[in-house]
Structure formats: C-alpha cells, structure tokens
C-alpha cells in the first residue's frame, strides 16, 4: 500500500527534470525497414502466385505471372538490404561458421538463403519454357534465351509443384523468423507482443497485392481479373489486420498488457506518434473504401494502380513505424530519443538506393525474361497495342 501511494504521488507532480542522461542512438537503420518490407513482399507474393503455379487454377494464372515477378525481384534485393544493416557486412560468413541455435536471427540466416534459392529455382522452372520460345532471337536476349533454360527438355509439372511447395515451406519459416525475431525482445515493450508477427504477415500480403496491381498496370499487362483478385486480397487482409489490431488493443486494455500500455503512453506523450497513428488509420480506411468502391464501380478500375501504391505505402509505413520509430521510445531516460534520418547510406541514400536496385532488378528481368508469357500468357510484343488501342482496365 505504501508503495502504491508513493507511485500515485509521483504521477501527480511532473516537475521532475532529467539533468544528465546520454543519448541512446538507434542501432537498426532504415536498411532494416527495407529488408522487412522486401522480404514480406517476397513471401506474400509467392503465396499469391501459388493458386496459378501449384494448383494450376486458370483464373489465377495472370496473377501468378505478376506475383512471381514480385517474389523473385524482392527475394534478390532483400538479402542485400539485410547485409547492409550489419555494421560488419563482410563478416556475414560468421553466421555459418559460428551458428547459435538459440538465436532467431541465426535460424533466419539458414532459412533466408534456402528460401531465395528455392524462389529462384521455381522462377527458372516456370520461365524456361517461355525463354526457349525466344531462342531464335538475335543478340543478348536470344543468347540468354538459349543458354538459361539449360537444354530443351520440357519442364515436368511435378517438379514445378515440388519446388513450389518447398519454397512455400521455406517462406513460412522466413515469415515466422522475421516476426519472432522482433517479438521476443522484452526490452522493447512495443515489439514484445504476439500480435506483431501477425501484423507483419497481413501488411505483407497487402503490400504484395498492391505490388501485383502496380506491376499489372505499368508492365502493360492490365489484366482486369488479376486486378480484381488483388483488390479482394487487399480487402480481406485489411479486415483481418483490423481484427488483429482491435484484438491487440482490446486484450491489452483488459489485462494491462505491456505493448498496449506502452503504445498508449507513446501516442499520448508524442505528437509525432499521434500523427503516425492517425495516418495509419486514415491510410487503412482510404485503402479499404477505395478497394471496395473500385470493386463495386467498374469504371474506377483505371485508377486501381493508385490503390496498389497506397497498399505498398501502408506495408512500408507499418515497418517504418515499428522498426524505426519504436527505437526512439526511450527505455531508461526521459522523453524520446531524437532520430533524424541520415542523408547518406544509413538513411535516405540507403532507402532510395535499395528501391533503385529493386527497380533495376525488375527491369533486367523484364528485359531478358518473357515473364508475361509464363503459364500460357502472351509475350510483351502484344503490350504496345494493349496500351495504345485496347480499353484500359488498370
């Protein structure tokens, strides 16, 4: 009772002033945001490609073409950004020389390369048939089309299914490790909740669907069914994300759980955090209404790509808030830790650079791989007429 009375008295007066305390800087840089963003896009894109790839569902094949490009391009760039977040990137081999099976990050260092290899293997199996059809072309494109398929054998369907299933298994491992890695940290109450991995997962699916919509538009594929499917995925994932966030809040309020009370304190004490909270809610609601309206009103379809970009923005902002902003919440000192995004490679340059690398990877794949022709689709020669002559489906 004595202790409680003292604590109450403490809360009444706020004249206590911190005189000396060090500044505790952030230890994970925006590279971490890029990694968590890209890897979530990758595993979620892989899942979106599965109905068309493994199950062979005709209606999902256009989506599978788009999503496979997303899964491959992000799987290539994500490990680069992860490496860049290490302060000693050239020591990455220590992960394999001195593994620690007690560490989620160590487990992740085994899952991640296996996942990347399997995704690349799956894409190679899927893309080698359309590549072979380009073998008679001249120049570098033709050369790659002749060499990359490694022979003229027909891709066995069972092999695509087997590699696809293995990639999905590893993608689940990657999904679990990226979530658990952060959620086990008791030292940061805002991370220490089992709801966080679920939100990483759902915002990842939202982003992946948004990516497919954007690629659908800007690759000139403009497939209306794929666009509608992705909007439906976004709608369902948004509802689930809302339920998870609501459940987190309701359960946290009911039992005074650490991450919820920390979140409420933070939003109360910091105007920046209030802005983040409002912005997150508004972006989610606008995305939900936009996707819903666009499904109802067919005439809005031409602007679906805007919703795709918004979905990507939601997935990225969630990670920025969770990984960067939470690091500014002081653990032992008063107020908030100051964080200004650096101009150089630990900040803006790193963010822009990793997105630039990602774009370059997509463009290089687009240049040398007829990915549009996978699963019985048309090669890009048809796209110019689609842009010029046919009605736009967005």
* Interactions with another protein, residue window 31-90 (CB under 8 A): 85-88
338 binds another protein (CB under 8 A): yes
Count of alpha carbons within 13 Å of 332, Cβ hemisphere only? 7
Rounded Cα–Cα distance for residues 259 and 275 (Å):
19
1 binds another protein (CB under 8 A): no
Q: Is 8 exposed, middle or buried (0-12, 13-18, 19+ CB in 10 A)?
A: exposed
Supply 386's token pair.
């689609």
98 binds another protein (CB under 8 A): yes
Interacting positions 184-213 with another protein (CB under 8 A): 184-189, 192-194, 197
Give 18 or 136: the residue with its C-beta nearer to another protein.
18
Residue 336 β-bridge partners: 329
Q: Which one of the spans 34-42, 57-65, 312-320, 330-338 is the region binding another protein (CB under 8 A)?
A: 330-338
Among 34, 42, 53, 109, binds another protein (CB under 8 A): 109
Q: Which one of the spans 97-105, 116-124, 290-298, 312-320 is the region binding another protein (CB under 8 A)?
A: 97-105
How far, in Å, are 15, 155, 156, 338 from residue 18 at the CA level? 10, 68, 68, 15
318 binds another protein (CB under 8 A): no
Supply 367's token pair.
């240049």
Q: Which one of the spans 16-24, 45-53, 71-79, 149-157 is the region binding another protein (CB under 8 A)?
A: 16-24
Give 150 or 343: the residue with its C-beta nearer to another protein.
343
Tell me if 44 sits within 8 A of 205, measured CB to CB: yes
Task: Tell me the backbone φ, ψ of residue 329, rounded to 5 degrees.
Answer: -80, 115
Q: Which one of the spans 123-131, 295-303, 325-333, 372-380 is the region binding another protein (CB under 8 A)?
A: 325-333
Interacting positions 229-268 with another protein (CB under 8 A): 251, 255-259, 261
Q: Nearest-CA neighbor of 222 among 358, 383, 344, 369?
A: 383
333 binds another protein (CB under 8 A): yes
Lay out the site mask for another protein across 265-304 (x = CB under 8 A, - = otherwise): ----------------------------------------
Give 197 or 290: the residue with its C-beta nearer to another protein.
197
Q: Is 38 exposed, middle or buried (0-12, 13-18, 19+ CB in 10 A)?
A: buried
């Amino acid at each position: 009772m004595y202790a409680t009375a003292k604590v109450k008295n403490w809360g009444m007066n706020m004249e206590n002033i911190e005189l000396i305390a060090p500044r505790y800087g952030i230890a994970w840089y925006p590279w971490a945001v890029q990694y968590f963003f890209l890897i979530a896009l990758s595993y979620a894109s892989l899942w979106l490609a599965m109905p068309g790839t493994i199950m062979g569902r005709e209606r999902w094949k256009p989506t599978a073409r788009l999503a496979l490009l997303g899964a491959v391009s992000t799987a290539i760039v994500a490990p680069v950004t992860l490496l860049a977040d290490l302060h000693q990137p050239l020591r990455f081999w220590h992960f394999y020389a001195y593994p620690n099976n007690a560490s989620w990050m160590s487990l992740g260092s085994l899952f991640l390369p296996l996942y990347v290899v399997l995704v690349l293997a799956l894409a190679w199996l899927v893309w080698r048939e359309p590549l072979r059809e380009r073998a008679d072309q001249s120049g570098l494109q033709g050369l790659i089309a002749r060499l990359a398929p490694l022979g003229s054998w027909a891709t066995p369907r069972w092999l695509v299914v087997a590699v696809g299933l293995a990639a999905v298994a590893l993608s689940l491992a990657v999904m679990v490790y990226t979530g658990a890695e952060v959620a086990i940290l008791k030292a940061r109450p805002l991370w220490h909740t089992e709801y966080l991995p679920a939100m990483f997962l759902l915002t990842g699916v939202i982003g992946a669907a948004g990516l497919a919509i954007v690629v659908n538009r800007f690759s000139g594929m403009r497939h209306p069914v794929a666009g509608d499917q992705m909007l439906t995925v976004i709608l369902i994932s948004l509802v689930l994300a809302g339920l998870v966030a609501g459940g987190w809040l309701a359960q946290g309020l009911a039992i005074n759980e650490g991450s919820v009370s920390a979140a409420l304190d933070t939003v109360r004490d910091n105007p920046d955090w209030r802005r983040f909270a409002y912005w997150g809610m508004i972006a989610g609601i606008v995305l939900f209404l936009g996707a819903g309206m666009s499904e109802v009103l067919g005439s809005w379809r031409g602007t679906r790509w805007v919703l795709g970009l918004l979905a990507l923005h939601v997935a990225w902002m969630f990670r920025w808030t969770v990984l960067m902003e939470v690091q500014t919440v002081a653990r032992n000192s008063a107020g908030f830790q100051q964080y200004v995004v650096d101009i150089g490679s630990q900040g803006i340059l790193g963010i822009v650079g990793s997105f630039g690398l990602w774009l370059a990877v997509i463009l290089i794949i687009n240049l040398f791989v007829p990915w549009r022709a996978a699963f019985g689709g048309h090669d890009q020669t048809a796209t110019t007429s689609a842009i010029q002559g046919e009605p736009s489906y967005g």
